[in-house]
Homo-oligomer: A and B are copies of this chain.
Amino acid sequence: MSLNNQTELAIIEAARKIFISKGYSGTTMEKIATEANVSKASLHYYYRSKDKLFEIVLSEVREIIQEKLILIIKSEDNIEVIIKKINDVYVETLINHPYLPNFIINEISSNPEKIVKILLGDKLSTFTILRMMVIIRNKTFKGNKDVVNSYDLILNVISLNVFPFLIRPIIKNIFKIEDEQFNSYMNNRKSGLSTFLFKALKQ
């Protein structure tokens, strides 16, 4: 068995697509096989079990998010620019991967220990890095040290960016809009969100 052959790749691509849109229990080996144009037996041949396949997909997801955030954090920008960039990256990533947040939240609640371990990784986690960075940045941002602590700040930024995508069907229903308009709304919201956050940070 050679690594990265056509069949292997087709299976992973199909698995990614279906796991992320349907969740673990909504996904069947049959559906993945059909999507990849192979038989169910091939799935087991290459990846042994549904669980194993799922773990690979979930790890990929972690990498997508981790890479983008680390890029921002490594920059030498001040806290305001960093927040603005985080808003941009979240909205962009979530518009391109609309099912990601629901996928992660669903899996977190159905199997917390396993999912948290895969998402946060064994080494230095995305969240730990983010946290450390904001502590450092905070020191150079005048007067806000006692107003919002850095843990809360990160939690607030992520909450404000991710939650609307989680309840997208509700938002679409209330405003009677479609996906395209929802995406525009989220894009337009970015600048207001940055302003909102900056003001909250000021003494």
Which A residues fall within an 8 A CB radius of B?
22-23, 25-26, 99, 102-103, 105-106, 108-110, 112-113, 115-116, 119-120, 125, 127-128, 131, 147-149, 151-152, 155-156, 158-160, 162-164, 166-167, 169-171, 173-175, 189, 192-193, 195-197, 199-200, 202
**Tally of this chain's copies:** 2
Question: Of the candidates B108, B128, B163, B171, which one forms a contact with A162 in the assembled complex, judged by CB atoms under 8 Å apart?
Answer: B163
Contact partners of A173 in chain B: CB under 8 A: 116, 120
Q: Judge whether A196 and B148 touch: CB under 8 Å.
A: yes
Given known pairs A23-B109, A102-B109, A148-B192, the reply for A158 and B163 (CB within 8 Å) is yes
| Complex: chain B residue closest to A127, CB-CB | B174
Give bound CA distance, A159 to B163, whole Å: 5
Given known pairs A25-B26, A200-B196, the reply for A189 and B108 (CB within 8 Å) is no
Contact partners of A174 in chain B: CB under 8 A: 120, 125, 127-128, 131
Q: Judge whether B196 and A127 touch: CB under 8 Å.
A: no
| Complex: chain B residue closest to A155, CB-CB | B164
Given known pairs A155-B164, A160-B159, A196-B148, the reply for A169 and B202 (CB within 8 Å) is no
Contact partners of A167 in chain B: CB under 8 A: 105, 108
26 contacts between A and B (CB under 8 A): A23-B106, A23-B109, A25-B26, A102-B105, A103-B109, A105-B106, A105-B167, A106-B106, A106-B109, A106-B110, A108-B170, A113-B169, A120-B173, A147-B199, A148-B196, A149-B192, A152-B196, A156-B160, A156-B196, A159-B160, A159-B164, A162-B163, A163-B163, A163-B166, A199-B200, A199-B202
